[in-house]
Structure 1
Amino acid sequence: MNTQTSAEEAQQEIAEEFAYFGDWTERYQYLIDLGKQLPPFPEEHKSEDYRVLGCQSMVWLVPSGDAQCMHFEATSDSAIVSGLIALVLRVYSDRPARDIVDTEPTFIGTIGLAKHLSPTRSNGLASMLAKLKGYAAQALA
């Protein structure tokens, strides 16, 4: 549970970590390393029900919990996208649904991701965030 840091604090930490790396080659390597640390993803969840559409690579996102605390598991067949997932989960998983809906992903701009992702990856990231926020909005409904 991310009770020790708020979503805003998590975004600040991400910004600080990425600031250590001088160039985007190192930042991409860091993203790939983060993706490798994602917990194992159950094969049975790699279904169309959980697939995030709008991503160039295959991405699956599984919600659990309730409005008080929502947990997400996700994975991708792409190393860089898995790293993006690791960042998104750090900011949004294990939080109240209201916080998830209200938190803007400022870290994407802060660390310069917006400028360094291909349009298809940017669209995929936007799709993943929209789906995650959609699950949170459903929990609040």
Structure 2
Amino acid sequence: MTGPADQTEGTALPEGFAEIADDFHAVTGRDRLQMLLEFADGLPALPERYADHPELLEPVPECQSPIFLATEVEGTGREATARLFFSAPPEAPTTRGFAAILAEALDGRTVGEVLETPESVTGALGLAEVVSPLRLNGMAGMLARIKRQLREKSGA
């Protein structure tokens, strides 16, 4: 038997996302929103090489709040390791939460795993009932930019 988060539109979720989605589906409504806010508190700080040079980060205009991201690739091709970095203001907890989910689910995975992450994964978290579709589109925008950067940097 598979859980609600094991698949989205017939495509298996990456392991990290499946675990996070299962956690979100284990609770309802306001508890999901609270969980998202807890993720926001756990967004890793930017390393100095980005904190001191914000111009190296790409803006994500699909987000309602100002968020910036950068990726790094350790190795080449689809087997390279993907590294993700985000900058989001503390006064934008929903956006920070989405960034933290992406960081937890995808940072350290192979480029291939990240590229195979279905765009519909943002809907698999069950947040549509507590977060506006516009905000969910922001998370999808982050994922699309991450994938584009990784394709360019890895040659995959």
Partner-residue secondary structure (3-state), 1:132:
helix
* CA–CA separation in structure 1 for the residues paired with 2:81 and 2:16: 16
2:59 counterpart SS class: coil
2:37 equivalent to 1:32: yes
> What CA deviation, in whole Å up to 9, does each residue of 1:39-73 have, x standing for no partner?
22253343374222222101111112334111011
Task: Give the CA RMSD over aligned residues.
Answer: 2.1
Matched-pair contact (CA < 8 Å) for 2:81–2:108: yes
- Per the alignment, residue 70 of structure 1 pairs with 82
Q: Name the CA distance, whole Å, in 2 between partners of 1:45 and 1:52.
A: 17
Q: In 2, Cα distance between the equivalents of 1:26 and 1:65?
A: 35
Separation in 2, partners of 1:110, 1:52:
21
Larger radius of gyration: 2
Cross-structure match for 1:55: 63
- Return the TM-score normalized by structure 1: 0.81
* One-letter amino acid of the counterpart of residue 24, structure 2: F
User: 2:143 is matched by which residue type in structure 1?
Assistant: L
Q: Return the letter of the residue paired with 1:125.
A: M
Q: How far 1:22 moved relative to its partner?
A: 2.6
Q: Which has the higher helix share?
A: 1
Looking at structure 1, the residues matched to 35 and 144 of structure 2 have their Cα atoms a distance apart, in angstroms, of 24
Q: Secondary structure at the match of 2:118?
A: coil
Q: Relative to 1, partners in 2 of residues 1:55 and 1:118: Cα closer, same or farther, differing over 3 Å?
A: same
Q: CA deviation at 1:83?
A: 0.8
In the TM superposition, residue 114 of structure 1 has moved relative to its aligned partner by 4.0
Read off the aligned partner of 1:123 and give its amino acid letter. N
> TM-score of the superposition, structure 2-length normalised?
0.74
Aligned residues between the structures: 134
Structure 1: runs of 5+ lacking an equivalent: 1-6
SS in structure 1 opposite 2:69? strand
Question: Match for 2:54: what amino acid?
Answer: K
Q: CA deviation at 1:109?
A: 2.5
Q: Where do 5+ consecutive residues of structure 2 fail to align? A: 1-12
Worse-superposed segment, 101-110 or 85-94 = 101-110
